[in-house]
């Protein structure tokens, strides 16, 4: 990324004020992995007793740090074990053979030594170019500075340090009461291209001061991820590095579990906020698009249809052109492979009924659809008229900006 990209027109006005999550501290530094003149490494430390859960890309060519995290994630903390998360941008350490595993090991050992943590409690992520050796020694050289700089209020800086082609840092938060006691959740994310279900080119780190067993935390993370990050798509491409880690410090003294409704709902809001922020930063995006499919034979079918619409280059370019070309929605449903009956289909753009029962609605006029398409946020709703299955996914349009960004990312 040689050039600076303009902030997405769909970006929020500002980075949110994220609360301090007791028990977790952050630091950022400029290690010069690839980018010059900016922070490109972040370290988070969680107090002893914290539980950690995660979900990862299912790519068959996933990166060395992902494989390392997956090997470590299913363990309960021992007494006195803290945890650390070390993340760099600029180089994904993916498809780097045995050298890649060596880099992960070097990073984990450096943090382990500096913070007196077992290496099994050090998680790393790397994001950026694939297939180039990670100059881990540059990061190792900054570990002491990072440890010295750990700060409860450092989360905003961490959100900055993990960016690649992102045009804005992404954060979300929720504060609730559980049995009268306050519980806080805060998260950060990066990602803007190579975003598709099965996660995305996304790194996501979410923290809470609630106390929760590791198994319950993992169940919540896996389930909510399926309804949020796995329901967004920018370009249908799936990264080799996707990682979501969540840490629960317990520092609030409030214990929750997978059935604590207020906590689960708040956590899902944070996940969804972050997921939608990634779409809002979709490379070249000018429209935020919600695709709702109902009346499918099953929820799985609804999801297949919704993703077929959301990933269709012809649908996405029509939206970019503010063209209410609902025929392309019909095309995307037809090609999806899931059950559909042309003559039962209905399609709405926003509140406007565009097509029903296999043909354009008698009351529809092109200008009605065009008016919806001029909005920055667009909802496409399809009812298949077959059953009870529904699904919602979020995506963006496909524009000249996407081409510009991706036709010269590396050279």
Site for its own copies in 15-34 (CB under 8 A): none
Furthest-apart CA pair in the chain: how many Å? 71
Contact present, 181 and 260 (Cβ < 8 Å): no
Residue 255, strand partner residues: 211
Task: State yes or no: residue 76 binds its own copies (CB under 8 A).
Answer: no
Interaction between residue 61 and its own copies (CB under 8 A): yes
Question: What are the distances in angstroms from CA 196 to CA 104, 270, 388?
Answer: 25, 19, 25
Question: Is 201 an annotated catalytic residue?
Answer: yes
Give CA separation, 411 vs 130, 406, 407, in Å: 13, 10, 9
60 lies in the binding site for its own copies (CB under 8 A) = yes
Binding flag, residue 130, its own copies (CB under 8 A): yes
What does the alpha-carbon distance between residue 393 and residue 378 come to, in Å, rounded to a whole number?
A: 12
Phi, psi of 331 (to 5 degrees): -55, -45
Which residue in 127, 201, 286, 290 is the catalytic one?
201
Output 119 or 406, the one with its CB closest to its own copies. Answer: 406
Q: Which is nearer to its own copies, 235 or 273 (CB)?
A: 235
Which x/- pattern, by CB under 8 A, does the window 136-175 give for its own copies? ----------------------------------------
Q: Rule CB under 8 A: say whether 400 interacts with its own copies.
A: yes
Asked if residue 334 binds its own copies (CB under 8 A), the reply is yes
Q: Which listed residue (198, 215, 216, 226) binds its own copies by CB under 8 A?
A: 198
Phi-psi region of 180 (alpha: psi -120 to 50; beta: other; left: phi over 0): left
What's the token pair of residue 381? 């709703």
Q: Is 91 annotated as a binding residue?
A: no
Give the footprint of its own copies on residues 258-317 (CB under 8 A).
311-314, 317
Residues from 216 through 245 that contact its own copies (CB under 8 A): 235-240
Based on the shown chain and the rule CB under 8 A, indicate whether residue 376 belongs to the binding site for its own copies. Answer: no
Q: How far is the CB of 283 from its own copies (least distance, A)?
A: 9
Please, what is the angle between helix 64-72 and helix 97-115, to 10°? 50
Options 8-16, 48-56, 194-202, 213-221: segment touching its own copies (CB under 8 A):
194-202
Consult the annotation and say whether 367 binds a ligand. Answer: no
The Cβ-side half-sphere exposure at 6, using a 13 Å CA radius, reads 9
Ramachandran class of 158: left when φ > 0, alpha when ψ lies in -120 to 50, beta otherwise:
alpha
201 is in an annotated binding site: yes
- As annotated, the active-site residues are 201
């Amino acid at each position: 990324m040689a050039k600076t990209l303009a902030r997405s027109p769909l970006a929020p006005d500002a980075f949110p004020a994220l609360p301090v999550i007791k028990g977790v501290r952050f630091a950022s530094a400029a290690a010069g992995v690839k980018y010059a003149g900016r922070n490109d490494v972040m370290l988070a430390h969680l107090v002893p007793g914290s539980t950690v859960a995660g979900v990862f890309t299912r790519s068959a060519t996933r990166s060395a740090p992902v494989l390392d995290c997956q090997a470590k994630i299913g363990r309960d903390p021992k007494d006195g074990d803290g945890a650390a998360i070390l993340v760099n941008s600029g180089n994904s350490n993916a498809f780097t053979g045995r050298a890649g595993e060596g880099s992960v090991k070097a990073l984990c050992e450096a943090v382990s030594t500096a913070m007196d943590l077992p290496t099994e409690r050090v998680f790393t992520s790397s994001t950026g170019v694939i297939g180039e050796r990670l100059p881990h020694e540059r990061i190792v050289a900054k570990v002491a500075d990072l440890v010295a700089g750990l700060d409860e209020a450092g989360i905003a800086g961490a959100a900055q340090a993990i960016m690649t082609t992102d045009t804005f840092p992404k954060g979300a938060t929720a504060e609730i009461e559980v049995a009268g006691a306050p519980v806080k959740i805060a998260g950060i994310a990066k990602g803007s291209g190579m975003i598709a279900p099965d996660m995305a080119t996304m790194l996501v780190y979410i923290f809470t001061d609630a106390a929760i067993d590791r198994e319950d935390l993992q169940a919540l993370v896996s389930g909510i991820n399926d309804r949020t990050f796995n329901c967004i798509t920018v370009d249908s491409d799936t990264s080799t590095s996707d990682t979501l880690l969540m840490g629960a410090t317990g520092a609030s003294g409030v214990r929750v579990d997978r059935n604590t409704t207020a906590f689960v709902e708040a956590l899902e809001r944070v996940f969804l906020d972050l997921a939608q922020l990634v779409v809002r930063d979709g490379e070249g995006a000018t429209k935020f698009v919600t695709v709702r499919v109902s009346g499918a034979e099953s929820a799985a079918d609804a999801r297949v249809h919704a993703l077929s619409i959301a990933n269709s280059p012809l649908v996405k370019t029509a939206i970019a052109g503010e063209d209410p070309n609902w025929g392309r929605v019909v095309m995307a449903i037809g090609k999806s492979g899931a059950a559909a009956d042309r003559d039962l289909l209905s399609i709405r753009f926003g509140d406007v009924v565009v097509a029903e029962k296999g043909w354009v609605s008698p009351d529809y006029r092109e200008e009605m659809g065009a008016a919806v398409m001029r909005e920055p946020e667009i909802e496409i709703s399809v009812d298949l008229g077959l059953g009870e299955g529904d699904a919602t996914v979020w995506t963006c349009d496909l524009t000249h900006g996407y081409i510009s960004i991706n036709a010269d990312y590396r050279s």
